[in-house]
Amino acid sequence: MVLACQNISKSYGATEILHNISFHIEAKEKLAIVGINGAGKTTLLRIIMQEEEADSGQVITGKDISIGYLAQHQDTSDGQTVYEELRNVRKNVIELQTQMRQLEQDMRQLEGDALSAALDRYTRMTHTFEQQDGYAFESQINGILKGLGFTESDFHRPLHELSGGQKTRVALGRLLLSRPDVILLDEPTNHLDLDSVQWLESYLGSYDGAVIIVSHDRYFLDRIVTRIVEIEHAKSTIYHGNYSYYATRREEVRLSQYRAYMNQQAEIRHQEDVIAKLKQFNREKTIKRAESREKLLHKIERLEKPQEVRDEMKLVLTPDILSGNDVLHVEGLGKSYGSHTLFTDIHMDIRRGERVALIGKNGTGKTTILKLINQLLPKDSGRITLGAQVHIGYYDQEHQVLHPDKTIFDELHDSNPDMTNTRIRNVLAAFLFTGEDVFKEIRDLSGGERGRVSLAKLMLSNANFLILDEPTNHLDITSKEILERALTNYTGTLLYVSHDRYFINQTATRILELQESGITSYAGNYDYYLEQKLASAATSEQTAPEDKQETDNKKDWKRSKEEQAKERKRQNDLKKTESRIETLEQQLAALNDEMLLPEIATNAARLTELSIQQTQTNEELEALYELWETLSEAL
């Protein structure tokens, strides 16, 4: 155990945020803390870092354990460059290197005992330098910065020129380079593109310290963590597994709790009816029996009603007008800003009923393509043709058309005056607005809540072709799941840009990857897209010489495949070794049995032969036992 939270509680005024939160993390373990926005996840991280004080409970760390923390908002030294900011992390190593260089110069002038003493000191310094990765820290800085999406031209940019997201990436690089025993990460993927997120997954997966992550990126959590701590209604529940296991198990648990609650409520109502009926009889015996039942009823430990159960909720959104089969045709599309060309000669076709995700690196022009389709920007070249009866509904996180003075209900009702109140409430419920929540004013909503209102409004529109730009931004995990179900059941056509790989995996039927060379189409979800990319990379490796400009991601993939191959070989060798050991042990038993036979005891030649075989078998077994131990350790 490197860190443990024991009965952590925290309240702000009358509102309890955390109640007796307890969990621990082992060395090298990867753990996630999940919950809706406002559940107290960041507060818990700040308590662990002693930036906030818990009302009760304690955080226990192992001896000499170092903890590093990446908050959502970072302060950086604006006088530094990107490279200097990371280099400062290894300041002690740099100073040691300077001392070694100076000592090398000094030793040229020394003789005798003074030289011997200096050599001894230099040997100790060299040993310390090697232990602290002194010979590798420059390449480590380069690898981390490139992995996080910085180019070499960015290395010497002053920090004050960077955006908030870029500064957060610098802070993340600084934290990774410091290699603490426990890393706390609060939404580490918010400012990373897909390549950088994949690099971070690989880095954290092989990190030899413990990692605690707060993130809404479910695909990221799926790939890294092995345990989930869920904070809900101030209490914590621990699930052993990755995010997908947690999501499945959580629904099973909640459904089981809901059924138990409903069964108990049915039993209570039944007993109350029986008691009432017995009292109506108004006989001494029936009244006593009613009183006896009442006593038993009072002793029942009442189950609390689960506050959120969405077991079989289905929202099917069917556009009023059916579009033609051909929804969108794009041919030769191009767009530049001054001398900077975003893309040229883009082609794509989308047919009715498809759910298409447009992905690619930051800055390739994905959002621009959506705006060109919506005629929000002028195109430089090409044609964009909409099919028959196609009506577009566009969602842009930055340009939501909502009226701050209206309530949530009125916002939807005024846009759909012919729609029944029940239908509007059902749609709002699907986006987590229930009861009196629907009468909140837009001005009082958070960014995520406004996003949900905009999406609900869009889903109720007459649009049969939804175009969405980063629809899951600012949504917590529960809201993302609601949106996924709504879009999966949407009977129109969908085109969207998203960095949320889990969301893409759940909703997309086709993926379009935008690159400098154009658009490549992949039928299927995100997992299938990755399989096709890896298969393509493997094929090109076999048929072409290695490209010197091979990307870091491809190198990571190659190393991963090589490790997998080595792992399979070790497992195969282990099975062969175990099989051989079993065979030899059987042979040795047979030899021992034969040597005990009376007729063998008087046959000196045969006895000698068996004894030699026994010795050889024992020697081979000893060697195999050692090999088995070595292979087992390696695995």
Token pair of 380 as six digits: 């430089």
Cα torsion 163, 166, 171, 172: sign: positive
- Helix or strand holding residue 519 (H, E): strand 518-523
CATH number reported for the structural domain that contains residue 376 in this entry: 3.40.50.300
Examine residue 493 and state whether it is found in any structural domain, yes or no.
yes
Task: Give residue 110's pLDDT.
Answer: 86
Which whole number is the average pLDDT over 218-246? 93
Rounded mean pLDDT of 83-91?
89
pLDDT of residue 540: 63
| Residues in contact with 160: Cβ distance below 8 Å, sequence separation at least 6, in sequence order | 78
Looking at the fold, whether 237 and 259 belong to one and the same domain comes out as no
pLDDT, tens digit, for every residue of 5-18? Answer: 999 999 999 999 99
pLDDT band, residue 631 (cuts 50/70/90):
low
At 371-384, the pLDDT tens digits run 999 998 999 999 99
- Single residue among 486, 505, 536 that ends a domain in this structure: 536
| Confidence grade of residue 477 (pLDDT, cut at 50, 70, 90) | confident
Query: Given phi > 0 = left and psi -120 to 50 = alpha, else beta, which region is 276?
Result: alpha
Q: What is the pLDDT of residue 493?
A: 95
Look at 31-35, 536-540, 544-548 and tell me which has the smallest mean pLDDT.
544-548
Same domain, 213 and 124: yes
- Amino acid making up residue 274: V
The answer on pLDDT for 546 being more than 50 is no
| Cα distance between residue 581 and residue 588, in whole Å | 10
| Domain identity same for 280 and 352 | no
* Mean pLDDT (whole number) for 213-220: 91
pLDDT of residue 630: 64
- What span, in angstroms and rounded, lies between the C-alpha atoms of 105 and 98? 11
Same domain? 590 vs 477: no
CA nearest 410: which of 396, 424, 391, 394? 424
Which of residues 502, 536, 570 is at a domain's end? 536
Same domain flag for 218 and 111: yes
pLDDT value at residue 407: 94
What are the tens digits of pLDDT across the range 616-626? Answer: 888 887 777 66
Residue with more model confidence, 624 or 333: 333
- Verify that 185 and 238 share a domain, yes or no: yes
Q: Per-residue pLDDT for 50 more than 60? A: yes
pLDDT value at 560 more than 60: no
Tell me the torsion sign for CA atoms 211, 240, 308, 13.
Answer: negative
Q: Which helix (H) or strand (E) holds 354?
A: none
Strand partners for 466: 393, 494
Q: Is residue 523 part of a domain?
A: yes
Residue 220 falls inside a structural domain = yes
Same domain? For 567 and 445 the reply is: no
The answer to whether residues 410 and 282 belong to one domain is: no
Q: Is the pLDDT of residue 38 over 50?
A: yes
- Cβ–Cβ under 8 Å, residues 518 and 347: yes
Task: Look at residue 565 and tell me whether its pLDDT is greater than 80.
Answer: no
Domain check: are 241 and 260 in the same one? no
Would you say residue 405 has pLDDT above 80? Answer: yes
Three-class DSSP category at 281: helix
pTM, to two decimals: 0.66
pLDDT attached to residue 5: 96
- Find the mean pLDDT for residues 303-321: 64
- Given a cut of 60, whether residue 552 has pLDDT beyond it is no
Q: Please, are residues 428 and 504 in contact by the beta-carbon 8 Å criterion?
A: no
Instruction: Supply the pLDDT for residue 75.
Output: 61
Residue 574 in any domain: the answer is yes
Supply the pLDDT for residue 295: 92
Same domain, 442 and 389: yes
Q: What is the residue range of 276's domain?
A: 255-299
What average pLDDT does the segment 466-489 reach?
Answer: 84
Q: What is the pLDDT of residue 561?
A: 57
Is 428 domain-assigned?
Answer: yes
| Burial (CB count <10 Å: 0-12, 13-18, 19+), residue 370 | buried
Tell me how far apart the alpha carbons of residues 555 and 28 are, in angstroms, rounded to a whole number: 24
Share of the chain above pLDDT 90, in %: 41
Question: So what's the pLDDT on residue 553?
Answer: 47
What pLDDT, on the 0 to 100 scale, is given for residue 615? 86
d(CA 568, CA 265): 54
Please check whether residues 440 and 574 belong to one and the same domain: no
Q: Is residue 304 part of a domain?
A: no
Give the β-pairing of 227-232 and 30-34. parallel
Whether 409 shows a pLDDT value over 80: the answer reads: yes
Q: Is residue 236 part of a domain?
A: yes
| Residue 593, pLDDT above cutoff 90 | no
Comparing 185 with 542, the larger pLDDT belongs to 185
Q: What are residue 115's phi and psi, to 5 degrees?
A: -70, -40
pLDDT in tens, 282-309: 778 788 888 988 999 999 989 887 765 4
pLDDT of residue 550: 47
Q: Is residue 503 part of a domain?
A: yes
pLDDT in tens, 427-443: 888 777 888 889 999 98
pLDDT at 551 over 70: no
Same domain membership, residue 363 and residue 502: yes
Q: Which residues contact 133 (CB under 8 A, 6 or more apart)?
A: 93, 140
Which of 226, 245, 264 is a domain's end point?
Answer: 245
Domain count of the fold of the chain: 4
pLDDT digits (tens, 9 = 90+) for 263-274: 999 899 988 988
Q: Which of 26-30, 44-48, 242-246, 595-599 has the lowest mean pLDDT?
A: 595-599
Mean pLDDT of 79-86: 88
Let me know: does 192 contact 149? Beta carbons within 8 Å. yes
> How does residue 548 score in pLDDT terms, banded at 50, 70 and 90?
very low
Tell me the per-residue pLDDT of 126-182, one tens digit each, with 9 for 90 and over. 999 888 888 888 889 999 999 998 989 899 899 888 877 788 889 999 999 999 999
CA distance 177 to 185: 14
